[in-house]
Structure 1
Amino acid sequence: MMRKKIVFSLLLSCTFSILGGGCSQKSKMEAQGSKEHSNLAIERETDNKMSDWNLTSSDAELYIGDLGVDQLYTSNQVRSLTTGSTKQALLPNGFPLIQAFPNPAIVPKQGSYVENVIDTAISYLGTPYVYGSNRLEPSSFDCSDFTRWVYLYALGMDLPWDAKNQAAYVDALSKRKYHDISKARRGDLLFFTSFRGNRAADYAGLTASQKPITHMGICLGNGKIIHSASKKTGGVRIDKIIEKNFHLQYRFILGGGILD
């Protein structure tokens, strides 16, 4: 009940900020914000922390991702739901699979809800990484808290609380899902297995059970991702996925759009 009240309050806040007055001044602020976001994005995507073996090889948070986070939030929750004699489809964590949609009161930016998502995501660049971060406020994120919060704050869409369950959501409900990273589009959710090294050979020959989904992010288009990977790599950051000796391209498992 507490979670529902907090989410409802968040949605009211989001809707009020979008529907409020001062449109002319707001447009100027958004234009200025977009320019600042662009400059910050260029700065952050040029560092090599995510591909620096001296750093990544000793970064425990990269290896574990958000594995086990769902257990922090579901141990005392109802893990199944039935309606009459018909069973509700369930996520891996036992919660009902319920499709979320953008709040109709929210106006699409540039005619697309994707841009609401991207603008919100970029506004959190540099937010610190914390494993199992508080899902009810945005002072810190792990990878799945980041993606969930972005969609919640930008569009009022309440997604599952960890990467494994968000992947199951996309797999079940996306009209456009894929296993080839080259098919990724702006605003898509992208899912990855655990970090094992920087080379393609580190991931060759693994079975499905050896490739659990433990990391995720949001596609920015042009081969870029915005995500929160670890403290050592700086929290929310932007990277180019297809880079020499860069592991994300070898770890990719699933992608899909949930706004189509």
Structure 2
Amino acid sequence: MKKWAALVVASAMLVTAALPGSAGAVSNAKQAEIVAGVSFREAPSTSGGFIRYLKKGETVTVISQPNAYWYKVRSAKGDTGYVSAQKKYINVSGSGSAGGSAGAGQAPAVSKPATGGTPSQQAQRVIEAGMKYLGTPYEFGSDRSTTDTFDCSDFVRQAFLDGVGLKLPADSRSQGQYLKNKGGVITDWTKLKPGDVMFFMSYRGSKPSAYAGIDKSTARITHNGIYLGNGKVLHTYSKEAGGVRIDDLANKHWEYRFLFGGSVL
């Protein structure tokens, strides 16, 4: 896998390298089945326009594979778009789904996370773990025992659990308190490091003036995500947004809503 930094600098277009042994395209169109609900997008990126969710059991035709993370597919309805190439979402020509014998609704088996390393190496593993879930559908109050859907804090928790074996508290406010108890809280998001957790207040509008005069030291946490560096955050916040995705922070409501962040490692 290319370094996570390359993923971020590419403006959320992820990597463009093909899978090993592939020229970046599926030579012959193949039939595939959607294994779990997943975002259907207009481009091979989380910034691509959200078309709809493909539902479990739908059949699609794989047209090509533009990079290691996405398939270009045609749905049974005839519309064309892009879907995550993760086996937990799509079974191409009987290749099987991720998770082995795990049944529906069960958490898939994951390899034991690597331990040790420098803080930056650990942060890289967390980011790589989180990137695997791009496009995973959003569900408020998602089941913490599965990876079929996520809400914001569930996603952050799973990325750290998969990446470094750290089991954070289950909700965003408890995760925020966990960071405060560790110390090292940062209130200027431009000083965060990749892999730091970011905490946000409720949406009040798209302009800075909507947040003027608010005491952010006492504002309630309503959202969190993982800082990628280069002004980008990896997170999930609504069904309409298409699930786990990458967003820019600067001059957006995310910047104005930011409360604090820092490393939980």
Change in Cα spacing, 1:253 to 1:48, as seen in structure 2 (3 Å) is farther
Is residue 249 of structure 1 aligned with residue 220 of structure 2? no
Question: Mean alpha-carbon deviation: is it higher for 176-185 or for 120-129?
Answer: 176-185
Is residue 177 of structure 1 aligned with residue 157 of structure 2? no
Structure 2 Cα separation of the partners of residues 256 and 110 of structure 1 = 12
| Alignment-derived partner of residue 233 in structure 2 | 225
TM-score scaled by structure 1? 0.59
| Alignment-derived partner of residue 177 in structure 2 | 168
Structure 2 Cα separation of the partners of residues 139 and 200 of structure 1 = 35
Change in Cα spacing, 1:33 to 1:139, as seen in structure 2 (3 Å) is farther
Tell whether the 8 Å contact from 2:186 to 2:261 is kept in structure 1 after alignment: yes
| Alignment-derived partner of residue 247 in structure 2 | 239
Tell whether the 8 Å contact from 1:108 to 1:115 is kept in structure 2 after alignment: no
Residue type of the alignment partner of 2:12: A
Q: Deviations over 1:120-174 (max 9, x none)?
A: 1111111000000001111110000000011011111110111111000001114
User: How much has 1:181 moved relative to structure 2?
Assistant: 1.0
What is the SS of the residue equivalent to 2:222? strand
Which structure has greater helix proportion? 1
143, 152, 167: which one aligns with 2:152: 143
What is the SS of the residue equivalent to 2:228? strand
**What is the 5 A alignment of 1:122-161?**
122-161=131-170
Structure 2 Cα separation of the partners of residues 196 and 112 of structure 1 = 36
Which structure has greater strand proportion? 2
Tell whether the 8 Å contact from 1:109 to 1:115 is kept in structure 2 after alignment: no
Following TM superposition, the consecutive aligned residue runs of length 4 or more in structure 1 with deviations greater than 6 angstroms are: 32-40
| Alignment-derived partner of residue 194 in structure 1 | 202
Change in Cα spacing, 1:170 to 1:220, as seen in structure 2 (3 Å) is same
Tell whether the 8 Å contact from 2:115 to 2:164 is kept in structure 1 after alignment: yes
The higher-RCO structure (CA 8 Å, 6+ apart) is 1
Unpaired segments of 5 or more residues in structure 1?
A: 1-29, 50-102
What is the SS of the residue equivalent to 1:178? coil
CA RMSD of aligned residues (A): 3.2
Residue type of the alignment partner of 2:201: T
Structure 2 Cα separation of the partners of residues 37 and 209 of structure 1 = 29
Structure 1 Cα separation of the partners of residues 263 and 217 of structure 2 = 25
Unpaired segments of 5 or more residues in structure 2?
A: 14-43, 51-111
